[in-house]
Amino acid sequence: MNIYEKIQHESRVAKAIYGPFNSTHEMYGVLIEEVNEVFDLVRQNSAKMTEDQKIERIDKMVKELIQVASVATRAANELITNQIKHQ
Protein backbone atom coordinates (compact mmCIF):
# COMPACT_ATOMS: atom_id res chain seq x y z
CA MET A 1 0.00 0.00 0.00
CA ASN A 2 1.53 3.33 -1.01
CA ILE A 3 1.38 6.46 1.13
CA TYR A 4 -1.71 7.86 -0.61
CA GLU A 5 -3.58 4.60 -0.17
CA LYS A 6 -2.64 4.59 3.51
CA ILE A 7 -4.00 8.13 3.90
CA GLN A 8 -7.24 7.20 2.15
CA HIS A 9 -7.59 4.04 4.22
CA GLU A 10 -7.00 5.93 7.48
CA SER A 11 -9.57 8.53 6.44
CA ARG A 12 -12.20 5.89 5.60
CA VAL A 13 -11.64 4.01 8.87
CA ALA A 14 -11.87 7.19 10.98
CA LYS A 15 -15.04 8.31 9.21
CA ALA A 16 -16.62 4.86 9.63
CA ILE A 17 -15.86 4.90 13.35
CA TYR A 18 -16.59 8.55 14.19
CA GLY A 19 -18.80 9.77 11.35
CA PRO A 20 -18.41 13.24 9.85
CA PHE A 21 -17.03 16.08 11.92
CA ASN A 22 -19.73 17.80 13.96
CA SER A 23 -18.27 21.26 13.44
CA THR A 24 -15.28 23.13 12.13
CA HIS A 25 -14.14 23.47 15.75
CA GLU A 26 -14.09 19.69 16.15
CA MET A 27 -12.31 19.36 12.80
CA TYR A 28 -9.64 21.83 13.92
CA GLY A 29 -9.28 20.18 17.33
CA VAL A 30 -8.70 16.74 15.82
CA LEU A 31 -6.18 18.15 13.34
CA ILE A 32 -4.25 20.01 16.05
CA GLU A 33 -4.21 16.91 18.25
CA GLU A 34 -2.59 14.93 15.45
CA VAL A 35 -0.07 17.70 14.69
CA ASN A 36 0.82 17.88 18.39
CA GLU A 37 1.49 14.14 18.41
CA VAL A 38 3.98 14.65 15.56
CA PHE A 39 5.57 17.56 17.43
CA ASP A 40 5.96 15.43 20.58
CA LEU A 41 7.98 12.95 18.53
CA VAL A 42 10.01 15.73 16.89
CA ARG A 43 10.98 17.12 20.31
CA GLN A 44 12.43 13.82 21.48
CA ASN A 45 16.20 14.06 21.78
CA SER A 46 17.46 11.64 19.15
CA ALA A 47 21.08 12.13 20.25
CA LYS A 48 20.36 9.98 23.31
CA MET A 49 18.57 7.23 21.38
CA THR A 50 19.84 3.91 20.15
CA GLU A 51 19.56 3.19 16.44
CA ASP A 52 16.56 0.94 17.13
CA GLN A 53 14.86 3.75 19.09
CA LYS A 54 15.53 6.19 16.24
CA ILE A 55 13.97 3.78 13.72
CA GLU A 56 10.96 3.28 16.00
CA ARG A 57 10.60 7.07 16.38
CA ILE A 58 10.67 7.56 12.61
CA ASP A 59 8.06 4.82 12.14
CA LYS A 60 5.83 6.53 14.72
CA MET A 61 6.31 9.90 12.99
CA VAL A 62 5.31 8.45 9.63
CA LYS A 63 2.15 6.94 11.18
CA GLU A 64 1.27 10.25 12.82
CA LEU A 65 1.92 12.21 9.62
CA ILE A 66 -0.39 9.82 7.77
CA GLN A 67 -3.02 10.62 10.39
CA VAL A 68 -2.44 14.37 9.93
CA ALA A 69 -2.84 14.01 6.17
CA SER A 70 -5.90 11.83 6.67
CA VAL A 71 -7.62 14.34 8.95
CA ALA A 72 -6.78 17.22 6.60
CA THR A 73 -8.03 15.28 3.56
CA ARG A 74 -11.20 14.22 5.33
CA ALA A 75 -11.85 17.75 6.59
CA ALA A 76 -11.39 19.29 3.14
CA ASN A 77 -13.66 16.69 1.59
CA GLU A 78 -16.36 17.20 4.24
CA LEU A 79 -16.20 20.98 3.80
CA ILE A 80 -16.49 20.68 0.03
CA THR A 81 -19.44 18.29 0.26
CA ASN A 82 -21.16 20.22 3.09
CA GLN A 83 -21.01 17.29 5.50
CA ILE A 84 -19.77 19.33 8.45
CA LYS A 85 -22.92 20.36 10.27
CA HIS A 86 -21.93 23.71 11.79
CA GLN A 87 -19.60 25.82 9.69
Summarised one tens digit per residue, pLDDT across range 6-32 is 999 999 999 899 999 999 999 999 999
User: pLDDT grade, residue 86 (50/70/90)?
Assistant: low
Summarised one tens digit per residue, pLDDT across range 35-84 is 999 999 999 877 888 999 999 999 999 999 999 999 999 999 999 998 77
Q: CA 23 → CA 8, 19, 46, 74, distances in Å?
A: 21, 12, 37, 13
Rounded to whole angstroms, the Cα distance separating 38 from 34 reads 7
Q: Strand, helix or coil at 21?
A: coil
pTM: 0.87
Q: Strand, helix or coil at 50?
A: coil
Q: Is the dihedral of CA 32, 21, 84, 25 positive or negative?
A: negative
pLDDT given at position 75: 93
